[in-house]
Amino acid sequence: MEYLSLIMFALVCVVLLFGYPVAYSLAGTALLFAGFGIFTGTFDESYLHALPNRFYGILTNQTLLAVPLFVFMGVVLEKSKVAENLLSAMAQVFGRFRGGLAISVVLVGMLLAASTGIVGATVVTMGLMSLPTMLKKGYAPSLAAGSICATGTLGQIIPPSIALVLLGDVLSSAYQQAQLDMGIFSPESVSVGDLFVGAIVPGLILVGLYLLYVVGVAFIQPHKVPPVQDKDDANHLTLKPLLLALAPPLLLMVVVLGAILAGFATPTEAAGIGAAGALLIALLQKSLNLENLKAVMTSTVNVTSMVFLILIGASIFSLVFRGFGGEQVIEQIFADLPGGTFSAVLLVMVVIFLLGFILDFIEITFVVVPLVGPVLLAMGVDPVWLGIMIAINLQTSFLTPPFGFALFYLRGVAPDSVSTMAIYRGVVPFIIIQILLLVALAIWPELVVH
């Protein structure tokens, strides 16, 4: 009857494909299977007695307090038009070069991804701001769409990222459980800060490869990325507008990340600093009024409520999954694989990649990682390396046609002149870049520094 756990997992995926809310699908399916198990004597109902303690632990989790604060920071920066001002200033400075506008999009997208950490928000914002301009200036629709989609997904890997906060919390619990299962009763810990540190080098490599690709296109196919300004006009430009636009968000990111990496603040405390700093930037730029503040608060509450409700549903699901012996089934499957740890990690990566077509990173983090994480970590996999690999893998999944979330987000705001096939063609080079990075991290795991 332990295979009921796998049937339950498959049924949840089917229910989600029908469009039912994730949190209710997880909790409802799990409780139905638990009821069936109790009725047939195949499930110990005492497992359900642990639910109140689990719920209390979720609501009092200090690490997860960083989620609403980081969301608040990102939405305030979005409403204060920081990204819009930065893109305009960068386009003025780099516009005289072939590919300059695409380079500006990648750099601004990196900063926006770091501040919001939400793929949909970044793709939609960059799509509305930069896509019409790129098309008007003669950029190839495929390259314009591809660069926006790719930079929009950087929120998965560029710290401080909500995805890394959630992954860090889940991996911390999985790592402790794995060590206890191995008989280590003084377990080592892994923190969100460790994941932030580990993501810096891969994130910078990824941005660098994006820029290298744009520069390569500018030399090989210059007609796809024409300059948007004459060189004579550029002589009248100065760096002052760029510095004024760049300083606020960059300083905020340095303060938030620096406080975490230097050990002066926990991720939650640093998130509080970031939220206050974003408010200060908005006030100094006189772009915050009561209407905007209300919209910011509403958006923050909506996202936070979604995250915690999904986490509660996933907690019920994982508890029932373990009650049916699902963890032992996974261990057995991994043990029977030829190739040992490598094959187990590869299988998990393929499954997560495919699930990325139907689930958001929040659901995958809360549902899949707690199920496979303890088993992989008990096999000797480094938790920080695993977290970074999962983040980049999901980022790749969100870009891959025909189901990638980033493609749907951009399709929703792109003009009709940009065909869906052009969007698909545009993301292919960036998908290849991300797969190459995954391979590089597999070969040289020391690139994930921690």
**Token pair listed for 274:** 């970031």
Question: What confidence category does residue 238 fall into, taking pLDDT thresholds of 50, 70 and 90?
Answer: low
pLDDT in tens, 247-258: 887 888 888 888
Tell the residue number behind the tokens 């301009």, with chain if given: 133
pLDDT at 119: 66
pLDDT in tens, 404-418: 778 888 888 888 888
Residue 207 scores a pLDDT above 60:
yes
Residue 230 scores a pLDDT above 60:
no
Residue 438 scores a pLDDT above 90:
yes
Q: Which one has a higher pLDDT value, 244 or 301?
A: 301
pLDDT in tens, 150-167: 888 887 888 877 888 888
pLDDT at 384: 92
pLDDT at 239: 67
DSSP assignment of 77-111: HHHTTHHHHHHHHHHHHHTTSTTHHHHHHHHHHHH
Q: Read off the DSSP letter of residue 65.
A: G
Residue 439 scores a pLDDT above 90:
yes
pLDDT in tens, 333-386: 888 888 788 898 999 999 888 888 777 787 788 888 888 888 888 888 899 999
pLDDT at 120: 67
**Burial per residue of 285-309, b for 16 or more beta-carbon CB atoms within 10 angstroms, e otherwise:** eebbeeebeeebeebbeebbeebbb
Q: Which one has a higher pLDDT value, 116 or 124?
A: 124
pLDDT in tens, 35-71: 998 898 888 888 888 888 888 888 888 878 888 888 8
Question: What confidence category does residue 115 fall into, taking pLDDT thresholds of 50, 70 and 90?
Answer: low
Please give the Cα distance from 14 to 158 (Å, whole number). 32
Please give the Cα distance from 268 to 192 (Å, whole number). 10
pLDDT in tens, 281-301: 888 877 778 888 898 899 889
Question: What confidence category does residue 2 fall into, taking pLDDT thresholds of 50, 70 and 90?
Answer: low
Tell the residue number behind the tokens 């995250």, with chain if given: 307
